Amino acid sequence: MLETQLAHWGILPVVAIESASDASPLAEALSSADLPIAEITLRTDGAIHAITQLTKREQFIVGAGTVHSVEQAKQVADAGVAFVVTPGFNPKTVSWCLQHSLPIFPGVSSPTDLEMALDFGINVVKFFPAEQLGGVNMLKALHGPYSNVRFIPTGGISLTNLREYLSLPSVIACGGSWMARQDWIRKGRFDEIQRVSTQAVQERRQLLAT
């Protein structure tokens, strides 16, 4: 189950990739760090081509992020993604994904958004932009009235505050682009992506061991 896998890794790399030729070395770098999963954002012209390349790889989970419409959801579904992530809560996009059994983690930023998610039967959501919305303290406040909701906080998270977020019982995983920065991909610095991703995985494992 996807949510179980997310909880296992606790980290979701959020990646903007410009060229499909970088897809395979990116997947190899993340997999070598024992993090075989990525959310490819639809912020670049090469995103769909990269997704298509990545979905062909066994043992690698590919999702699409920054999905703004039903049309984009259809496009990434045709490309074979395992899940969809949206920056905000778009009822039409959410409805289409649910109707087509495509897991979706819609973005929320308020109790009103959470009420909408629950009304759609969704209890795992993206919390975005996490740091700007109050970060850990906001998630702690939301946990009281929404104890059955699990969050994927994204936005402003890095290795320096990763453990603080992952320590919260309401957090299923943390999303972030610091592990696979766009300029690193552009410059072919996949060794750096592997190194930083390994640090994140180790931080997660150390937390579990305490």
> Do 65 and 46 contact (CB within 8 A), yes or no?
no
Mean pLDDT over 19-28 rounds to 97
Confidence of residue 1 (pLDDT cuts 50, 70, 90): confident
- pLDDT (average), residues 185-208: 97
18, 39, 74, 140: the active-site residue: 39
Helices (runs of H) and strands (runs of E) counted in the chain: 10, 9
Q: What is the pLDDT of residue 210?
A: 85
pLDDT of res. 29:
98
Give the pLDDT band (50/70/90) at residue 78.
Answer: very high
pTM: 0.97
Q: For 6-21, how does the pLDDT look when each residue is reduced to its tens digit (9 = 90+)?
A: 999 999 999 999 999 9
Q: Which residues contact 83 (CB under 8 A, 6 or more apart)?
A: 2, 61, 63, 64, 102, 103, 104, 105
Would you call 140 a catalytic residue per the annotation? no
**On the CB side of 72, how many CA atoms lie within 13 Å of its CA?**
24
pLDDT tens, residue by residue, 88-144 = 999 999 999 999 999 999 999 999 999 999 999 999 999 999 999 999 999 999 999
Range of the domain at 67: 2-209
Q: Give the full edge-to-edge strand order of the sheet including 104-105.
A: 104-105, 83-85, 61-65, 37-41, 11-15, 174-176
Angle 159-87-67 from CA coordinates, rounded to 5°: 115
Average pLDDT over residues 49-62: 96
* The predicted structure's pLDDT at residue 80: 98
Closest CA to 47 of 26, 29, 64, 25: 64
Q: What is the pLDDT of residues 151-188, one digit of tens each?
A: 999 999 999 999 999 999 999 999 999 999 999 999 99
Residue 109 has what pLDDT?
98
Q: Is the peptide bond before 103 cis (omega within 30 degrees of 0)?
A: no
For residue 135, give the CATH number of its domain. 3.20.20.70
Catalytic residue among 58, 74, 126, 203: 126
Total number of domains constituting the chain = 1
Return the pLDDT at 87.
98
Is 126 tagged catalytic? yes
